[in-house]
Amino acid sequence: MERELVRQALKYAGLTEYQADAYLTLLELGTAPAVEIARKCSVPSSQIYDVLRDLEDREYIETMDQEKLYARPEPPETVFDDLTSRGELLADAAEDIKERYREPDTVNYRISVTKHPESAVEQALTGITDADTVVEIAATPAQLRELLPELRVARDREVIVRTTLYLEDHGEVPIDDEMLDGGVSELRVCSIPGPFLVILDRHRVCFAPNTRSDETYGVLIHDRILPFIFHWYFLTCLWNLYPTVYRDDPKTVTYVSLKEFFRDFYSIIQADEFEVVIQIRGSEIRTNSEISIAGRVQSMTYPQRQHDHRPSLTELATYATMVVDTGTELLSVGGWGAVFEDIIARRVDVLSIEYTGC
């Protein structure tokens, strides 16, 4: 390292201009009289003694009174420890400044807004580690790659990961099946670029505009009501309109939205020619406790019913209820926001479909 850079580093460590110059000169000279040190550096002769005494107080050098005042460098351990500790302090300060720079401007305890879109991705990474049921994602290929390590850990916990990938002009997916394996349950491709969106277990949202927006911000939501709006946007605008291009297990049929289950199975149940057995994981409305039941779907109803054919999402926009026969009792099951049913379903697994018609 050049002398000037070392001098700058010593100044960062708290030495004055004169102290840094005198210390570096003494390192080059070894043991030397004060007047010689002053002659070789920029410190005036009238100040060299005070400078050397100050360096001695810091344990950088040792002085010796003989016929003249001599000085010699102390072993470098003290200087090394001093510089290292200050370097760590500066590094910690730099990291803290970075975090403060990205820290959200809190609107209230449920919604936070940050000026930096990348904060939404960072918060999504943190949230994925805590997810226990479902993660819904809309992201660019680069953003998905960043999330994949944490998504694989979530999938190991049996978390459902539904991903919409923004890909213009229906080009080839730049992430192969091997890379998706273990990290994504189902992948669909959206041809219109949109915002970065992650919905975690129906109560956390990380949102940020992508590159086509003139605004740069991120929105972080931790609430049990507002995420429903983002979920509905994801469902109607980013998910159901697009075909599946990857599914980790084609033989397993799992739903994290009761309305989607209604769309696929309503006409089958109404035809009364199939017995559909499902497992439901959710919570009991009366006690808010976790519950898991299995049974046969006995009936499915929704208030906008106009026919026995497959209902649209618009027709299911209010609420939908089904009754499940567990073999010992009949339980009513609702979706997100259910109030009057027995159970709120967070996940529906289809266990079997048996034809019972003639």
Nearest to 218 by CA among 210, 227, 226: 210
Per-residue buried b or exposed e for 182-217, using 16+ beta carbons within 10 Å of the residue's own CB: ebbbbbbbbeeebbbbbbbbbebbbbbbbeeeeeeb
For β-strands 218-222 and 204-208, DSSP reports them as antiparallel
CATH number at 144 reads 3.30.870.10
In a domain, residue 93? The reply is no
What end-to-end distance do the CA atoms of the chain give, in Å? 88
Counted domains in the chain: 3
Clarify whether residues 225 and 335 are in a common domain. Answer: no
pLDDT for position 104: 52
For β-strands 244-247 and 254-255, DSSP reports them as unpaired
Q: Print the domain residue range for 226.
A: 105-247
Which residues does residue 62 pair with via DSSP β-bridges, in sequence order?
72
Clarify whether residues 117 and 152 are in a common domain. Answer: yes
In a domain, residue 98? The reply is no
pLDDT for position 169: 65
What six digits make up the tokens of 247? Answer: 């599914």
CA–CA distance, 173 with 169 (Å, rounded to integer): 11
The tally of CA atoms less than 13 A away on the side-chain side of residue 26 is: 29
Using CA atoms, how far residue 211 sits from 123, 166, 228, 230, in Å, is 19, 12, 25, 20
Clarify whether residues 216 and 242 are in a common domain. Answer: yes
Final residue of a structural domain among 247, 275, 292: 247
In a domain, residue 277? The reply is yes
Using CA atoms, how far residue 271 sits from 23, 154, 266, in Å, is 92, 38, 9
pLDDT for position 106: 45
Final residue of a structural domain among 195, 222, 247: 247
Clarify whether residues 186 and 240 are in a common domain. Answer: yes
CATH number at 299 reads 2.30.30.690
Clarify whether residues 137 and 238 are in a common domain. Answer: yes
Q: DSSP labels for 287-353?
A: T--EEEEEEEEEEEE-TT--SSSPPPTTTTSS--EEEEE-SS-EEEEE-TT--SSSEEEEEEEEEEE
Clarify whether residues 209 and 109 are in a common domain. Answer: yes
Clarify whether residues 210 and 150 are in a common domain. Answer: yes
In a domain, residue 300? The reply is yes
CATH number at 65 reads 1.10.10.10
Clarify whether residues 116 and 182 are in a common domain. Answer: yes
In a domain, residue 335? The reply is yes
Please say whether the beta carbons of 291 and 279 come within 8 A.
no
Clarify whether residues 243 and 258 are in a common domain. Answer: no
What six digits make up the tokens of 109? Answer: 């305890």
In a domain, residue 13? The reply is yes
CA–CA distance, 67 with 257 (Å, rounded to integer): 91
Clarify whether residues 112 and 160 are in a common domain. Answer: yes
What six digits make up the tokens of 349? Answer: 């697994």
Burial of 284 from C-beta contacts in 10 A (0-12 / 13-18 / 19+): middle
CA–CA distance, 188 with 260 (Å, rounded to integer): 15
pLDDT for position 157: 92
CA–CA distance, 197 with 166 (Å, rounded to integer): 11
Final residue of a structural domain among 225, 247, 269: 247
In a domain, residue 165? The reply is yes
Which amino acid does the sequence have at 311? Answer: P
In a domain, residue 89? The reply is no
Clarify whether residues 273 and 243 are in a common domain. Answer: no
- The set of residues, in sequence order, having a beta carbon less than 8 Å from that of 106 and lying 6+ positions away, is 112
Query: If the chain, 358 residues long, is cut into consecutive pieces of 10 residues, what is the mean pLDDT of each piece?
Result: 74 82 85 87 87 86 82 78 70 64 53 84 91 94 93 93 84 74 91 92 90 77 89 92 87 87 90 92 91 94 79 84 94 88 93 84
Clarify whether residues 145 and 241 are in a common domain. Answer: yes
